[in-house]
């Protein structure tokens, strides 16, 4: 069996192989670079979206803080009022018990 002579003899490309390899490498690296830039932009946009959503949630929660403070102040006042009332009742009960024991 006799080998046929190649259609493109390697000798023709021998002087240009390094240049061809360099062009192929540049094409591959260029495609990878474009994909990375697109990926980076997507991640950056997602990051901004997440940050904006988080800021909106924090803002809506912080808007409720003054109302929460007012509610807590009202509760503290109510507790103070009930405590004073209970103390008065205990004093009255103590006086009644003392008066009953004296009699």
The residue to which tokens 């507790």 are assigned: 79
Rounded distance between C-alpha atoms, residue 84 and residue 73, angstroms: 17
pLDDT tens digits for range 16-47? 667 777 788 888 888 888 887 887 777 777 77
The residue to which tokens 């018990």 are assigned: 97
Give 23-60 as a DSSP string.
HHHHHHHHHHHHHHHHHHHHHHHHHHHHHHHHHHHHHH
**Domain layout of the chain by residue ranges:** 35-102
> By CB neighbour count within 10 A (0-12 exposed, 13-18 middle, 19+ buried), where does 74 fall?
exposed
DSSP 15: T
pLDDT tens digits for range 50-61? 777 877 877 777
Evaluate if pTM is beyond 0.85.
no
């Amino acid at each position: 069996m006799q080998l046929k002579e190649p259609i493109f003899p390697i000798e023709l490309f021998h002087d240009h192989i390094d240049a061809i390899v360099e062009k192929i490498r540049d094409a591959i690296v260029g495609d990878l670079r474009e994909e990375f830039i697109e990926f980076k932009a997507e991640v950056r946009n997602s990051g901004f979206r997440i940050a904006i959503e988080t800021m909106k949630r924090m803002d809506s929660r912080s808007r409720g803080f003054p109302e929460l403070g007012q509610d807590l102040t009202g509760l503290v006042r109510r507790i103070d009022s009930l405590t004073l009332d209970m103390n008065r009742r205990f004093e009255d009960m103590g006086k009644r018990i003392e008066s009953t024991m004296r009699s």
